[in-house]
Chains A and B, each alone.
Chain A
Amino acid sequence: MSKIIVMTSGKGGVGKTTSSAAFATGLALRGFKTVVIDFDVGLRNLDLVMGCERRVVFDFINVINGEAKLNQALIKDKRIENLYILPTSQTRDKDALTREGVEKVLNELSKDFDYILCDSPAGIERGALMSLYFADHAIIVTNPEVSSVRDSDRILGVLNSRSRRAEQGLEPVTQQLLLTRYDPERVEKGEMLKVDDVLEILAIPLLGVIPESQAVLRASNVGMPVILDEVSNAGLAYSDAVGRFLGEDIEHRFVTPQKKGLFSRLLRRSA
């Protein structure tokens, strides 16, 4: 039986797709057979971030409609063993996502995969609801910014009332916070919400803090999940977050401004 994870946020542009690509890759790197599904019907983007856009033949909606077999729509990652992408349709709309259709595909994937990661679209309508409905675990992607925090709270409410687990009175969907685009220098200057502020407001456990990083744009330019950029702070932070998700005890890094270099470090130490 596989575990179903949803990467969700309510708000758009906060880093769900970036995080889905990184997380799926991280799980596969640790040996888990993982598939990442794009639920953003009509606005396909995960394929670009994963670098497989030229290889999309069939998609999630084709499989739901019985126009293609699941194994024909799944794209095997060329770099990482155990990693698969299920792209979405670029031409249909979210109504194509029926609950029965989604369930059928997830059930079939369950037989084969350890983790199924659902990349949610923005909003709290059909696409977002379908992506979270069957989830066992939710990763709430939030930016340290007022509207993002409020939208995350809305999504937590939806998870607690409209997910399958909620409707059937099962054990609730686990909820963890992934705070992304965090800029410690602005936090220090008092210009940005602190990790602790966000945690206090949302009151869910912290999975990780991903710093604002130029590596993210570079990675998406070339179609490589940023977690594969092992010298970038963002890549390392995602890697830590995957470790924590799997139960490892890893200290949070990149939450305070980086020391400026050896010289200033020496100065600091002697001070």
Chain B
Amino acid sequence: MSIFNFFRAAPRASAVQAKERLQIVMAHERAGRSGPDYLPMLQQELLAVIAKYVNIDENKVEVKLDRGGDCSTLEVNIELPAREQAKAAAAAKTAEKSAGNDVGAAKRPAGGAVGNGGAKKRI
């Protein structure tokens, strides 16, 4: 192997990336196999609680997940409706702003109930 090849192959060969990706995704899958898929229920319950206080449009709920090796993040963005008066007052100006008005955002590392542990955890 030439020095050139050595340096090119060394940092992150595609096979190394393949292994890392598989370890992460499969650790989560194996952990989840025993229990029910809790995400749909988690979402419904979260929404039910929030709906007690504000009107929310179910189509404006965004759920994002990033499964990592040591920690996963679940991000729930709920767009809250703009107040009626506020809407009337600054019609065009707030149009964009209100879309980013996600007060209900809950971002949490998922060591506990929300995500399923790290890559090393096996069930």
Contact = CB atoms under 8 A, between A and B. Distances in A.
Interface of A: 48, 53-58, 62, 67-69, 71-72, 90-91, 217-218, 220-223
A218 B14 contact: yes
Nearest to B16: A221
Contacts of A68: 40, 43, 63
26 contacts: A48-B25, A53-B25, A53-B67, A54-B21, A54-B65, A54-B66, A54-B67, A54-B68, A55-B64, A55-B65, A57-B39, A57-B65, A57-B74, A68-B40, A68-B43, A69-B58, A72-B61, A72-B63, A90-B29, A91-B37, A218-B14, A220-B18, A221-B14, A221-B17, A222-B18, A223-B21
A55 B24 CA distance: 12
Across the A-B interface, the 7 shortest Cβ-Cβ residue pairs = A221-B14, A221-B18, A67-B40, A54-B67, A57-B65, A53-B25, A218-B14
Interface of B: 14-15, 17-18, 21, 24-25, 29, 32-33, 37, 39-40, 43, 58-59, 61-68, 74
B17 A222 contact: yes
Contacts of B66: 54-55
B73 to A, nearest CB: 10
Contacts of A91: 32-33, 37
B21 A48 contact: yes
Contacts, number: 55
Q: By DSSP majority rule, is chain B's interface helix, strand, loop, or mixed? A: helix
Nearest to A224: B14
Contacts of B43: 68
Contacts of A223: 17, 21
Contacts of A218: 14
A68 B65 CA distance: 14
Contacts of B64: 55, 57
A222 B14 contact: yes
B34 to A, nearest CB: 11
B45 to A, nearest CB: 13
Contacts of B15: 221
Nearest to B29: A90
Contact of B40 (A55, A58, A217): A58
A69 B18 contact: no
Contacts of B58: 69
A204 B2 CA distance: 48
B108 to A, nearest CB: 14
A55 B33 CA distance: 18
A101 to B, nearest CB: 15
